[in-house]
C-alpha cells in the first residue's frame, strides 16, 4: 500500500515538474508570434497575456491544467497585408482557427512528453528500481491523459463572452466594447470605403465651382489631423484626401496610438513615410516616448516638444502632452488641465523667445489638449489642438484663433461600436506665403455603414458683405448637382471664421 501511494505521489510530482519546465511551445497564430504554456492549476481556465497592457482570462475549462498564451510579437508584413486588403480578414480567420488547433496539439504533445519524462527521472532517483520507475511513468501518463480528458469534457466556448481583464486592459470593455461587434463593423466599413473615397473625389471636383476662396499656386496647404487612435483606415483616408487637395504637409496634434506601447507604435507609425509630405507630430496623452521615437524614425516626420521648426514654408511651434494616461477616456479633470496649462506656458516662452530673435514670427502653434492653448494667446495667430474628439473653432482674442480637430481616427476601434459610429474628421488649411491663414475646409468622412463625405469651406478674416453658400451632392448614380441659396444678410466678425460653403455627397 505504501509503495502504491509512493509511486502515485512521485508520478504526480514528477509530471507536474516536467510539465512546468517543458510544457511550452513557441508558435505563430495568424499574424501573432506567441508562446503557449501548460501550467498546473486547481481551477483550469485559460489566460492571454499581452505585454505591457495586461491579461485576459476566461474560465473555458475545468481540471488541473491551465493554458497560458503570451503575445511576443507581430508579423509586420502579414499585419500590413490584412490592413491593406480587408478581403483577407475572413480568409485569415479560417487560417487562424487551424493555427490554434495545431498549436494546442503541439503544446499537448510536448506537455505530455515533458510530464512523462519528469516522472521517469524522479522515479529513477526515488526508487532506484527499473520496474517501479516504469510504473511511475505509466501512472504519470494516466494522470496527464486524465487531465486532458477533464479539460476536453468541460470545454465551454460560451465563456468567451465573459472575459476577465487585468492591468491596463481593465479599461478595454469601456473603451472599445465587444470585440466581435468591432470586427463586424470594421469589415462593413472597409467594404464602404471605396464608395466614400469616390465621393471624396466628386467633392473635390465640385469644390472648384463654388463661389468661395480660390487658392493660388503659391498657397500653402496643410492637413490638420488628430486622435487617430490606431485606426488603420485613417491612413488611406489621409492619403487620398491629401493627394486630391495637394497638401504640402500634415500636422498631427497627438493621440496617434491607444496605449503608447512600442509594439503598436512601431507598426502603426511606419505608415507615415508613405504620405511623402512632411508630417509634424506632437504627443497626446495616449502617446509615450516610444511613440514619439517611432514617428521620428520616418524620414519625413518632424516631432516637436517645446521646439520651433520651419516646415513647408510655415514656422511651427509645438509641445507634447505633459500627461501619459492611456487608461483614461478623453475627459479632462482639473489636475490634468493645470498640467497642460503649464505645458502651454512653456511653449509660450519658447515662442516669445523665437519671435524676438528671428525676423519671421511663429505662424502655427500645436498643443494636444485645448487647456494648453490659453497661455498662448497673443503669441501667434493660430493654435491647433485635438483631444476632445469634437471639432470646434473659436477666437481666443482678436489676434489668436484656436482650432480643435475632431478624431481623424473616428475615435479608434471604440468608434466602430454602437448604432451611430464616429466620423473621420480632418481640416485642410490654406495659408498665404506670409503664413496668414486665409481659409480652411472642414472635411467629415462618414463612420461605419455609410458612404458620405461632407466638406464645409470657411473664409477667415472677411469684414463686411454677405457671402453666398453652395451645396454639392453626389448621388449613387454618379451625378453631381449643385445649388446656391440666396445670400445671407449677416456680416462676419473679424477674425471669427465665416462659413461660406457646404458640400454633402451621399451614396
* Comparison of pLDDT for 68 and 325, the residue scoring more: 68
Which one of 136-140, 419-423, 458-462, 498-502 scores highest in mean pLDDT? 136-140
Phi, psi angles (nearest 5°) of residue 250: -120, 130
C-alpha span between 498 and 496 (Å, rounded): 7
C-alpha span between 212 and 282 (Å, rounded): 32
Rounded mean pLDDT of 372-391? 94
- pLDDT bracket for residue 51 (50, 70, 90): low
User: 3-class DSSP state for residue 170?
Assistant: helix
Domain spans in the chain, listed from the N-terminal domain onward: 2-175, 192-310+389-503
Rounded mean pLDDT of 456-483? 48
Rounded mean pLDDT of 405-421? 68
Nearest in space to 370 (alpha carbons), one of 324, 407, 404, 322: 404
Q: What distance lies between CA 422 and its chain's CA centroid?
A: 14
Which one of 161-170, 174-183, 184-193, 442-451 scores highest in mean pLDDT? 442-451
* Comparison of pLDDT for 250 and 26, the residue scoring more: 250
Given a contact cutoff of 8 angstroms between Cβ atoms, the answer to whether 12 and 136 are in contact is: no
CATH of domain 192-310+389-503: 3.60.21.10
Tens-place pLDDT, residues 76-105: 666 656 555 555 555 555 666 778 888 889
Neighbours of 313 (CB within 10 A): 16
Given a contact cutoff of 8 angstroms between Cβ atoms, the answer to whether 487 and 454 are in contact is: no
Rounded mean pLDDT of 237-259? 91
The reported pLDDT for the residue numbered 201 is 56
Residue 171 has pLDDT above 50, yes or no: no
The set of cell numbers assigned to 452 is 458620405
The reported pLDDT for the residue numbered 458 is 83
Residue 324: exposure state from Cβ atoms within 10 A (0-12, 13-18, ≥19): middle
The reported pLDDT for the residue numbered 289 is 94
* Comparison of pLDDT for 360 and 200, the residue scoring more: 360
Tens-place pLDDT, residues 267-281: 899 999 999 999 999
User: 3-class DSSP state for residue 251?
Assistant: strand
The reported pLDDT for the residue numbered 245 is 87
Amino acid at each position: 500500500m505504501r509503495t502504491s501511494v509512493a509511486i502515485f505521489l512521485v508520478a504526480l510530482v514528477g509530471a507536474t515538474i516536467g510539465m512546468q519546465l517543458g510544457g511550452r511551445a513557441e508558435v505563430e497564430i495568424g499574424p501573432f508570434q506567441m508562446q503557449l504554456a501548460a501550467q498546473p492549476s486547481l481551477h483550469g481556465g485559460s489566460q492571454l497575456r499581452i505585454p505591457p497592457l495586461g491579461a485576459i482570462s476566461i474560465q473555458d475549462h475545468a481540471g488541473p491544467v491551465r493554458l497560458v498564451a503570451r503575445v511576443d510579437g507581430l508579423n509586420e508584413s502579414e499585419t500590413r497585408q490584412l490592413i491593406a486588403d480587408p478581403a483577407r480578414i475572413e480568409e485569415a480567420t479560417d487560417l487562424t482557427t487551424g493555427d490554434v488547433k495545431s498549436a494546442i496539439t503541439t503544446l499537448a504533445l510536448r506537455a505530455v512528453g515533458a510530464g512523462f519524462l519528469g516522472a521517469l527521472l524522479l522515479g529513477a532517483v526515488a526508487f532506484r528500481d527499473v520496474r517501479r520507475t516504469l510504473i511511475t511513468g505509466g501512472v504519470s501518463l494516466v494522470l496527464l491523459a486524465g487531465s486532458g480528458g477533464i479539460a476536453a469534457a468541460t470545454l465551454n466556448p460560451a465563456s468567451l463572452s465573459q472575459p476577465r481583464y487585468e492591468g491596463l486592459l481593465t479599461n478595454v470593455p469601456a473603451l472599445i466594447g465587444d470585440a466581435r461587434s468591432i470586427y463586424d463593423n470594421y469589415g462593413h466599413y472597409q467594404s464602404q470605403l471605396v464608395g466614400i473615397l469616390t465621393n471624396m473625389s466628386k467633392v473635390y471636383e465640385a469644390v472648384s465651382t463654388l463661389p468661395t476662396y480660390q487658392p493660388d499656386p503659391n498657397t500653402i496647404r496643410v492637413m490638420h489631423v488628430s486622435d487617430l487612435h490606431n485606426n488603420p483606415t485613417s491612413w488611406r483616408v489621409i492619403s487620398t484626401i491629401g493627394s486630391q487637395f495637394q497638401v504640402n504637409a500634415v500636422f498631427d496634434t497627438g493621440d496617434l496610438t491607444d496605449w503608447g506601447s512600442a509594439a503598436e507604435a512601431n507598426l502603426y507609425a511606419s505608415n507615415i513615410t508613405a504620405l511623402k509630405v512632411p508630417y509634424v507630430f506632437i504627443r497626446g496623452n495616449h502617446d509615450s516616448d516610444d511613440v514619439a521615437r517611432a514617428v521620428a524614425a520616418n524620414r519625413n516626420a518632424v516631432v516637436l516638444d517645446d521646439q520651433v521648426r520651419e516646415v513647408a514654408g510655415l514656422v511651427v511651434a509645438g509641445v507634447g502632452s505633459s500627461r501619459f494616461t492611456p487608461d483614461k477616456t478623453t475627459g479632462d479633470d482639473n489636475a490634468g488641465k493645470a498640467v497642460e496649462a503649464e505645458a502651454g506656458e512653456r511653449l509660450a516662452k519658447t515662442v516669445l523667445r523665437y519671435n524676438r530673435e528671428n525676423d519671421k514670427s511663429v505662424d502655427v502653434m500645436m498643443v494636444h489638449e485645448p487647456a494648453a492653448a490659453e497661455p498662448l494667446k497673443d503669441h501667434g495667430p493660430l493654435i491647433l489642438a485635438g483631444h476632445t474628439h469634437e471639432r470646434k473653432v473659436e477666437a481666443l482674442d482678436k489676434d489668436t484663433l484656436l482650432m480643435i480637430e475632431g478624431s481623424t481616427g473616428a475615435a479608434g476601434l471604440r468608434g466602430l461600436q454602437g448604432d451611430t459610429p464616429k466620423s473621420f474628421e480632418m481640416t485642410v488649411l490654406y495659408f498665404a506665403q506670409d503664413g496668414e491663414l486665409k481659409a480652411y475646409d472642414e472635411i467629415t468622412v462618414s463612420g461605419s455603414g455609410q458612404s458620405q463625405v461632407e466638406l464645409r469651406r470657411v473664409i477667415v478674416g472677411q469684414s463686411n458683405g454677405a457671402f453666398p453658400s453652395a451645396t454639392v451632392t453626389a448621388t449613387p448614380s454618379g451625378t453631381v448637382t449643385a445649388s446656391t441659396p440666396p445670400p445671407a444678410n449677416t456680416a462676419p466678425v473679424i477674425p471669427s471664421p465665416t462659413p461660406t460653403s457646404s458640400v454633402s455627397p451621399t451614396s
